[in-house]
Amino acid sequence: MTSPNFVSPSQIRAQFSAAMSAMYKDEVPLYGTLMELVADINQNTLQADQDLRKNLQQAKELERLDEERHGAIRVGTPEELHTIGRLFAVMGMHPVGYYDLTPAGVPVHSTAFRALHEDELRVSPFRVFTSLLRLELIEDAALREEARAILANRQIFSPDALQLIAQCEQDGGLCAEDATRFVNEAIKTFRWHGESTVSSAQYKDLHDQHRLIADVVAFKGPHINHLTPRTLDIDSVQASMPKYGITPKAVIEGPPTRQHPILLRQTSFKALNEPVRFADQDANEQGSHTARFGEIEQRGAAVTHQGRALYDRLLNAARAELGEAPAEHNAETYSALMQKHFEQFPDTLEQMFNNDLVYFNYLPTPKGLAKAGSYDANTSIAQLIQAGDVRLSPIVYEDFLPVSAAGIFQSNLGDGANSSYAQLSNQEIFESQLGQSVIDEQQLYAQTAERSLEQCLHALGVQR
Ligand code: OOG
Ligand code: NI
């Protein structure tokens, strides 16, 4: 039985997201600048585009915008991943999707912890891209075992966090006071530690293997690697970053600029060089580590299987025609090629609906509501849209893109990280390490669209 005194997991998630943002702003002041930049541009965009404002208002998305962000963490062992899953479950966040980054030369596989239902997402869409290091991909056997031993020795959760997770699992929830305690304990796992657990020589060995391996193995815990606010206009953000003293990566990841954005577009700035004291260093000595960076994203429509297949095909075609990885020197060519290839992805809501490319919310218009109850049975949604009685509003994409994620990883790992690992992907291994299956995001979007359709037809009095 759930106690009436429990706060909802969504409220805990909102509280946690705010606490993470405050902590990260403290740790990385540039993140504060990024938030200002995004807030300014969002405000300008909404002022200039009243239709967009109205749409977001009607879709109840305006409120969540300022609170919207995703984080990224990298854990070192299956046990850590498993407990992270339990920790996020307290906040109503569950693993959605499987991302294999090894083909892109990044020795991790990942999932996104997030809320599942549109009502919960409205309270807090906070999500965390969570990667598990694949130690088995370290070629040097001695180093691999050393890394394994170092990771086996760390405890990334506070005793109180572990106790509160267990309590929540047992009782079915947390009261307000325990929820606040939980948030305060849980964020400790993700904070930055200026002291490394390894010597400078060990760090160098790990780093030489892969910078990401050093980032995971040499520290006390999975420090939050970036926290990404959501903008309504990423092209403006990209153009304005230099004015704020920030140098963006050369190309925006994801689809090109469109009238109706789809999926996810992201840009980032280079990782910070941060002071670190290694285990062999005394108070006067210092080394450094670069891993944490800033990222901004624009979210568009969730696409169907067909939409995703078309996206992947056009992205691959543009990349194939470019003939090399997108970078500084070919950024303009890449952008032109993307625009050219994506002309094949319809860019009106009607075309995307007719071709079943995007998931939609269905909103009855005032004109439709005035006719409520007078429709013939079996009036189709297509007819209602055609008549102007129902308006289409794309469902927001809540997930990530592996090619973009790889691009983000690589732009921050420096050169030499582009070789790919021969190892096959293994979702099953990941799921057994996580202790649960990952949820298929397509199913979630289809369910949200179906609920919206049902509510819409109900409001119009149309029998199905
Ligand atoms: C995660 C990179 C992926 C995104 O937004 O695609 C990611 C990482 O750097 O750990 O955050
Ligand atoms: Ni990210």
Residue range 388-414: mean pLDDT, rounded = 81
Number of the ligand closest to the Cα of 400: 1
Number of the ligand closest to the Cα of 106: 1
Q: Is the CB of 219 under 6 A from ligand 1?
A: no
Alpha carbon distance 399, 310 (integer Å): 17
Alpha carbon distance 216, 147 (integer Å): 10
* 54: CB partners within 8 A, 6+ apart: none
Convert 371-436 into a string of H (helix), E (strand) and C (coil).
Answer: CCCCCCCCCCHHHHHHCCCEEEEECECCCCCHHHHHHHHHHCCCCCCCCCCCCCCCHHHHHHHHCC
| Residue 53 CA to ligand 2 centre (angstroms) | 26
Q: Are strands 390-394 and 294-299 parallel, antiparallel or unpaired?
A: unpaired
Minimum-distance ligand 1 atom for the alpha carbon of 74: 10
pLDDT reading at 402 higher than 80: no
pLDDT reading at 351 higher than 60: yes
| Residue 128 CA to ligand 1 centre (angstroms) | 9
Q: Is the CB of 266 under 6 A from ligand 1?
A: yes
Alpha carbon distance 406, 213 (integer Å): 15
| Architecture of the structural domain at 6-301+398-425 | Roll (3.10)
Minimum-distance ligand 1 atom for the alpha carbon of 295: 5
- What is the torsion angle, in degrees rounded to the nearest 10, for the CA atoms of residue 305, residue 310, residue 315 and residue 319? 120
pLDDT reading at 190 higher than 90: yes
Give, for ligand 1, the residue of 68, 190, 408 to mutate: max count of ligand atoms closer than 8 Å to Cβ: 408
Alpha carbon distance 287, 195 (integer Å): 10
Domains of the chain, residue spans: 6-301+398-425, 305-349, 360-394+441-464
**Measuring from atom 3 of ligand 1, which residue has the nearest CA?**
405
| Residue 71 CA to ligand 2 centre (angstroms) | 6
Alpha carbon distance 404, 123 (integer Å): 27
Q: Are strands 108-114 and 94-100 parallel, antiparallel or unpaired?
A: antiparallel
| Residue 139 CA to ligand 1 centre (angstroms) | 24
Q: What is the mean pLDDT of the chain?
A: 91
* Total Cβ atoms within 10 A of residue 68: 22
Minimum-distance ligand 1 atom for the alpha carbon of 408: 2
Alpha carbon distance 277, 255 (integer Å): 41
Give, for ligand 1, the residue of 400, 411, 412 to mutate: max count of ligand atoms closer than 8 Å to Cβ: 400
Place 154 in a pLDDT band, splitting at 50, 70 and 90: very high
Give me the pLDDT at residue 410, please.
Answer: 66
Furthest CA-CA distance within the chain = 81
**Measuring from atom 1 of ligand 1, which residue has the nearest CA?**
72
| Residue 70 CA to ligand 2 centre (angstroms) | 7
DSSP assignments along 297-314, one per residue: EEE-BPB-HHHHHHHHHH
Give, for ligand 1, the residue of 409, 412, 413 to mutate: max count of ligand atoms closer than 8 Å to Cβ: 409
Residue range 42-57: mean pLDDT, rounded = 90
Alpha carbon distance 100, 431 (integer Å): 12
Give me the pLDDT at residue 304, please.
Answer: 97
pLDDT reading at 423 higher than 70: no
Residue range 114-129: mean pLDDT, rounded = 96
| Residue 388 CA to ligand 2 centre (angstroms) | 38
Q: Is the CB of 304 under 6 A from ligand 1?
A: no
- What is the torsion angle, in degrees rounded to the nearest 10, for the CA atoms of residue 36, residue 297, residue 53 and residue 13? -80
Alpha carbon distance 143, 157 (integer Å): 25
